[in-house]
Structure 1
Amino acid sequence: MNLTSVMENLTLATNHSDCFSVDSASRRRSFLFFYLAIIITAIPSNAFSLYVSWQHIRQKNELGVYLFNLALSDLTFTVGLSLWLDFLWRGVWAHGGYICVLSVYFLFTNFYTSDALLCCIALDRYLAVVHPLKYTSLRKVGTAAAVSVAIWVLVICFNASTITWEDSYQENNKIPVCFDTFLPMSENLARANVVRFFLGFIVPILLVVFSTWGICVAVKSNQATEEQERKRILRLLTVVLFCVLFCFGPIHIMMLLRTLVHCTDVVWFLYAYKFSIAISSLNCLADPFLYCFITRAGQANVNQLILFFQGKQRSKNKGVV
């Protein structure tokens, strides 16, 4: 072996090591507190959202089916975040490769079930406003349940075929790392990231924009629609568009860029990539906003909850006096 080959191998080994060791403890801790705040907020809000969406289902409202599955997806992901907190605190993954792959699996399952269900909500509102009498069979609880099951099955199968041990878990210098295994990227992961970008971001954006635009045109031309109802519909679609564009946009752009990044560039890329994942986790907080503050049943349940706690507070104050 000549000197040139030896230097090339040494460079590759050094770069490979840098890919796994560039993140500092201080930056990890900042993400730790961020995710801790999300867990504390998201678990009770999504648990309450399950109750609110169940009220929709009891009223034979197909929207409740999509909202219920959204809350279920968010709760599953949020509970799994506790493993990431431990990883960020220690700096090493202490739970083995199988749990690592499973946690990555939960992450991407939440991404794409939420993504698809948000599209279903937008399309459901589009049919309800633009074609209220034409596609009634598509706006039934049974149809919504079948669509939701299909989404779960398709997402689970897609993740099973694209998430691998090699791309999720590695031990560099006997230091186990989960999901920070950036480079060198396998061909399987590169193809999966391209598919995720188009199916998980571009297609949902087009569907939500199409639905929003169609509803805006229909609402403006329909003078019979009350002003308050118009605002409620537009608020709902604004939150849906925000979730898809802001929560899922950065992570999918970074996934696409990841296929082009070289190992020497990973120092700047690592933090940006982790930041995009942190932004995507905000969908666990944005989704409950759909149930509790925009839909009618959600607003009614929130008001009941507020009145309940106000009544308990008054009773407590009277007892003190």
Structure 2
Amino acid sequence: MNTTFSNGTAENCTVYSSVDQQMYPTAYSLFFIVSFPANLLSLIAAWQLMKKGNGMATYLIFLSVSDLLYAITLPVWIEQALKRDINDGLCSTVNVIMYNSFYVGSGLLCCISVDRYLAIVYPFYFHWVREVCTAVALSTAVCILEVVLHTLLLFHMEALQGSLCLYEQHIPIKPAAALVFLVRIIVGFLIPVIIMSFCFQQIMQSLNQSVSILEEERRRVHLLLLLLLLTYIASFLPYQTVMLLRALLEPGSCKWATQLRGAYFVTSALTTLNSTLDPILYCLINTSARMEIKIFKKITESNPWFENNT
């Protein structure tokens, strides 16, 4: 990584870095080539499932749309990395799309986790929660909530008074931006990880307590859930760690702004893995759902209460 520092003050400093120029064009081009068609296929497949009454497919549709919107911003980031002129309005728009895609995706993954949790841990209850109309309402609410929250955070940073991209490039970051970074980390990453971890732990506990479930089936569900969680953590943990360090150390410090700049570029590009890997969720969750049907049948066959009330 070729990163150097010059002409710095506590209020503003200049960091020259070639990391984004060397890595972004290649990485983002590869991610775009894979992510766009993969998410498009995932969207089509999920749409077919939703028309058959699959509520979980609704969350996948919203997730695919969010990832597709993010994918079409990648060419703009490539142009910016190559130091080509980008319209301020276009740059600010793709910046908003990028952050909203991060946190809308996190909210939708939480919805999917809760959906699976209710389907396995409470198979005889909460059927209305897993219906298509409920999934549409919840997905829409998640999107609106995330957009409103992110807009309020940008207002708090006073980033909407001019070019958002110029504001994001200002280093070292201001205290208001540091506070927003912390809110994003807590609301957009830590809380989703806690929710997903809780749901997956409860699902495995429920399966382990069922004597009718084969050990092989338990292992397969456990592996699927683990892959879903690890995919999310691997995509965002490095980036969120760097943003935490920036929030705690960078305000007013050109030294830390310089040292963290290269890591910021690398981990920012790494988050694109999430939109690229999300289509794999369709395959994993579909496999999990088919397995749950088998498990559900075994549970109902061994449950006297169900037999007496059907």
Q: Same fold (TM over 0.5)?
A: yes
Residues 233-254 of structure 1 show CA distances to partners (whole Å, capped at 9, x for unaligned) of 3344223312331212222222
Residues 151-182 of structure 1 show CA distances to partners (whole Å, capped at 9, x for unaligned) of 11011111212232458333xxxxxxx74333
1:102 aligns with 2:103: no
* Separation in structure 2 between the aligned mates of residue 110 and residue 159 of structure 1, nearest angstrom: 11
* Separation in structure 1 between the aligned mates of residue 33 and residue 288 of structure 2, nearest angstrom: 24
* Separation in structure 2 between the aligned mates of residue 293 and residue 34 of structure 1, nearest angstrom: 25
* Separation in structure 2 between the aligned mates of residue 229 and residue 81 of structure 1, nearest angstrom: 40
Deviation at 1:229, TM superposition (A): 4.8
1:22 aligns with 2:28: no
1:203 aligns with 2:191: yes
Residues 268-304 of structure 1 show CA distances to partners (whole Å, capped at 9, x for unaligned) of 21110111111111001211001135514999xxxxx
1:137 aligns with 2:128: yes
Residues 18-65 of structure 1 show CA distances to partners (whole Å, capped at 9, x for unaligned) of 2xx4212x6522221011100000011000000111122022111100
* Separation in structure 2 between the aligned mates of residue 37 and residue 197 of structure 1, nearest angstrom: 27
> What's the counterpart of residue 63 of structure 1?
56
Deviation at 1:226, TM superposition (A): 4.9
Q: In structure 2, what residue type is equivalent to 1:207?
A: I
Q: In structure 2, what residue type is equivalent to 1:253?
A: T
* Separation in structure 2 between the aligned mates of residue 289 and residue 87 of structure 1, nearest angstrom: 29
> What's the counterpart of residue 233 of structure 2?
245
Asked if the contact 1:239–1:286 (Cα under 8 Å) also holds between the matched residues in 2, the reply is no
Deviation at 1:228, TM superposition (A): 6.1
TM-score (ref. length: structure 1): 0.79
Q: Aligned to 1:22, what secondary structure does the other structure show?
A: strand
Give the aligned length: 276
Q: Aligned to 2:105, what secondary structure does the other structure show?
A: helix
Given the superposition, is the C-alpha separation of residues 226 and 142 from structure 1 closer, same or farther in structure 2, using an over 3 Å criterion? Answer: farther
- Higher mean displacement: 277-286 or 144-153: 277-286
Given the superposition, is the C-alpha separation of residues 254 and 282 from structure 1 closer, same or farther in structure 2, using an over 3 Å criterion? Answer: same
* Separation in structure 2 between the aligned mates of residue 297 and residue 77 of structure 1, nearest angstrom: 27
Percent sequence identity is: 28
Q: Aligned to 1:182, what secondary structure does the other structure show?
A: coil
Asked if the contact 1:43–1:75 (Cα under 8 Å) also holds between the matched residues in 2, the reply is yes
Given the superposition, is the C-alpha separation of residues 264 and 152 from structure 1 closer, same or farther in structure 2, using an over 3 Å criterion? Answer: same
Given the superposition, is the C-alpha separation of residues 297 and 126 from structure 1 closer, same or farther in structure 2, using an over 3 Å criterion? Answer: closer
After TM superposition, the structure 1 = structure 2 runs for residues 1-16 of structure 1, keeping only pairs within 5 Å, are: 12=9, 16=12
* Separation in structure 2 between the aligned mates of residue 232 and residue 53 of structure 1, nearest angstrom: 22
The unaligned stretches of length 5 or more in structure 1 are: 1-9, 171-177, 300-321
Q: In structure 2, what residue type is equivalent to 1:280?
A: T
The unaligned stretches of length 5 or more in structure 2 are: 1-6, 291-310
- What is the Cα-based RMSD across aligned positions, in Å? 2.3
> What's the counterpart of residue 317 of structure 1?
none
Considering only CA atoms, is the larger Rg found in Structure 1 or Structure 2? 1
* Separation in structure 1 between the aligned mates of residue 98 and residue 228 of structure 2, nearest angstrom: 19
Deviation at 1:227, TM superposition (A): 5.4
